Every structure is written in C-alpha cells, then in structure tokens.
Amino acid sequence: MHTLQVKTRPSGKANALRLQGFVPGVVYGPSIESTAVAVERSALQALFAEITRSSRINLAISSEGETKDMDVFVKVVDYDPITDEPRHVDFYHPDTGTALKLHVPIKVVGESVGVKSGGILNVLFDSIRVHGLPQDIPHLITIDVSDLDMGEGVHVGEIDLGDVEAMMPAERTLVTVIAPRGLAMEEEEAELEEGEIEGEGEEEGADGAAEGAEETAAEGA
C-alpha cells in the first residue's frame, strides 16, 4: 500500500497554498468528520503515476505534531484546465467491514496469436465495476491475451477477482480479436463462392438424374 503524507489546514486560503506548491484537499467518510488537508503537489503527482482509481492508500495526516494513519481511496481530483495540474483532491475513508462498489482498471498484456495473423485487438471495456471489502479490491486487473485467436474473446466470468464480485454479466466480452474489414469481406466472398459451387454440383446431379430417367422411359416405350 502506498503512503501519502498530508497535513491539516485551516479552511480557506486555498490559492495561497497552491502558490506554495501544495494542493488543498479534504478527507471524509461515513464515520469521520470531514478534515481539510494539504499535500505537496509533487508528492501527489508522483502518487498518481503509481496508483489506479481503485488503489487503497495509507494517508498519514499530520496535525499539531502528531500523525494519524488512515486508509483512504482517491475519490475526486479537480485539475487546472490550462496546466492540467491537480488543484483539489478528495480522499474517501470507508467504514471497516463495509463493502464498496468501485471501478477497477483493466490492463491488457501480451500479443495475441490472432493479432499476429492479421487480426485487430478490440478492447471493449477499460475497467470492471466490482463489489467487495476495501482490502479485497484489486488496484488493477491484468488480462493476458497471448493465446487469443481470431474471433475469440475474454469474458467477465473468466476473470479471477478473488473475494470481490463483478457487477457485470459473466458473459460480457471485455477483449476480443476481430478480423480486419478487408479480410472479413474476403472470407465472406469465399463462403459465398463455396456455396455456389456446391449448389451447381447439386443442380448438375439433378439434371443428370432427370436425363437418365427420360432415356429409360424412352427405351421402355
């Protein structure tokens, strides 16, 4: 679990804190009082480079010479529209033993055999919404597509989520390998041609049988 150092702050003066290199924020939850905090911008940006939206964080809150540790999740981040730097951050502290609903990001790894043969990897979802206890929720779901062939896919029910429950149908496709448009059209044309050839053979057989029947009838007459 990642640890982030923050300090309590008085209400207001948010712009002054930003000028000093800090990002104002707040910590809240169903069983705690909301606490205004400030975190060094560089430390927060370094944390964001390593975590996901479902990562559990140890927040070390310093106040009047004392430090209190608290498990939190990053709830909301407000970014500057021009500099794209964080301007405000909300941390959420869940109740112990209370299940949460969170979106866990998906990371796709490997190069599938279907892609190697000309297919296109189609990632349909970038996260899975899950329900479970905070300590059981993974910070990332990794899907290895190395064995995925053309026309095959990975479904929600095939993912091992441990002790948490997916809030999506088990048959929902997450990743699939599809044929490129040109290849798909060629395969369709090949199927049509094959069907036409089979149909011609059947027609020839029927015509031959009819001719044979006519000849037999003529001989009998």
Domain residue ranges in the chain: 2-92, 100-178, 180-221
| Residue 48, amino acid | F
pLDDT of residue 186: 52
CA angle 4, 6, 9 (to 5 degrees): 165
pLDDT of residue 66: 87
Question: How far apart, in whole angstroms, are the C-alpha atoms of residue 30 and residue 34?
Answer: 9
DSSP code string of 120-157? EEEE--SEEEEEE-GGG--S-EEEE-TT--TT-EEEGG
For residue 108, the surrounding DSSP H or E stretch is strand 100-109
Return the CATH class of domain 100-178.
mainly beta
Of the CATH numbers 3.50.50.60, 2.40.240.10, 3.30.70.260, 1.10.10.10, which one belongs to the domain with range 2-92? 2.40.240.10
Two structure tokens written together for 208: 């031959």
Terminal Cα distance for the chain, rounded: 98
pLDDT of residue 217: 45
Q: Which residues of the chain have pLDDT under 70?
A: 182-221
What residues form DSSP beta bridges with 69? Answer: 60
